[in-house]
Chains A and B, each alone.
Chain A
């Protein structure tokens, strides 16, 4: 079964993150905790991060939502772990440009996240993809 245009959205790597989420759960002694929801659809995320000397040493998420929102959260935590806060914020900026369908700087390694590019073509789903990133931004802004 295939829907050609949908295959741009539901890429294999997204489905893999949805089915086998990385960093699922909560950090008990996480220094940063953010709860965020998407009031129009009911998606919600509970994000915990550990920040030490400006480095995000750990990040975990819990929540409920569609394949896009949960896969995006999984990829986001994977991408920021071990990175400094500035880098995490830069990733978030690049991601948001990607969602808007804009050109984005190619000097950052996006890895799996690149698979979410297709979401930009589905305006109704952009909010699903950006929820966890907004939570991360908020948490790190409060920390800064």
Chain B
């Protein structure tokens, strides 16, 4: 793939910020959208907009076909066995909350265990904290190795026969670590637990095969993979989803409604109460087409190369510290760092003055920040449209930042 060539599809990148050409290095927060996605959403509203699954009229049928067509694209994107296993929701957070409240609500009892890791995003911590509190269950954390990876021995030690749910992120939004989901899933299953995967940082960057991973649930968000905000996906194995109760009740998700009792639609619609996120799903479908056109393996390789280039280039800056697995290991395109004693907010402000967008703060991972023993860090994250020149610009501006702060001190 040719990132410089792909940039022409992202009109937003072609602008100056604070007098400099924009370098967008915050794709782990949200990715930019190609014209193909913007146009698909636009066209849906201009030509086909209608409610789904009810109209006899032509637009209603078109909207339904587009919505369900997007579901099939998602199914094939993660290689799920059936469209019944693909639930459209608002995003990863909503999907993980659904699993916690519906599956967890029915299957976790007092004294049972829920296992997560120290590197999780808040969206894969708090739903389980809440569930544990409601049920009197025990929330356990798999510790991290000094290089920010998980050891399989620690997984074996933490997951026990009392464990009902194991929930782990596939790719860390802070460390860039790629977790061995297949191996963790095996251990979860050996102990009779279900395996939940937070795929928010994985689905945009790696080819996902849920059948090969054998996980029971897989959650991800459209907006981090070139799609619109407000659309996300919960994959669940059909046998599990069949037995689960919806968590939202109302229109669209019902079969028969009586005065005192009602029944639910079949999968996946029983989990999609209310008018669904139709335009969002159409946009996500277009994003999947766009990513498939490039090829997920090519995207992974591109980011791997960028991360290696960035690690080499940035490590050469004196006083630069990087968190996460060292160069050469299997690592996603996320570089979290600190520069001397300069606070990351100050780093991000100076970079912004140079037209470079990075994230600063705790990255929605406060327990991980505590483990790293830092209050905040700065983060540069890459996607299909980033180039080595972007990293050169980052490195040059970081050197200027260093100089600036040594001058003012």
- A interface vs B, CB < 8 Å? 1-3, 5-6, 9-10, 12, 15, 19, 40-44, 64-69, 122, 124-125, 128
Contacts and interface: CB of A to CB of B under 8 A. Distances in A.
Contact of A125 (B18, B349, B375, B407): B349
Contact of B349 (A19, A44, A65, A124): A124
A42 B366 contact: yes
Contact of A5 (B18, B344, B362, B369): B18
Interface of B: 18, 343-346, 349-350, 352-354, 360-362, 366, 369, 375-376, 400, 403-404, 407-409
B362 A41 contact: yes
B353 A41 contact: no
Contacts, number: 62
A42 B409 contact: no
A128 B375 CA distance: 14
What are the nearest 5 A-B pairs in CB distance? A66-B345, A66-B343, A42-B362, A1-B403, A41-B361
Given A5-B353, A41-B345, A66-B345, 12 more contacts: A5-B18, A6-B350, A10-B346, A12-B408, A64-B375, A64-B376, A66-B344, A67-B346, A69-B345, A124-B349, A124-B352, A125-B345
Interface centre among B349, B361, B407 (most CB of A within 10 A): B349
A68 B345 contact: yes
A57 to B, nearest CB: 30
Contacts of B404: 1-3, 6, 10
Nearest to B347: A66
Given A1-B407, A15-B409, A41-B361, A65 B366 contact: no
Nearest to B344: A66
Given A12-B408, A41-B361, A3 B345 contact: no
Contacts of B344: 66
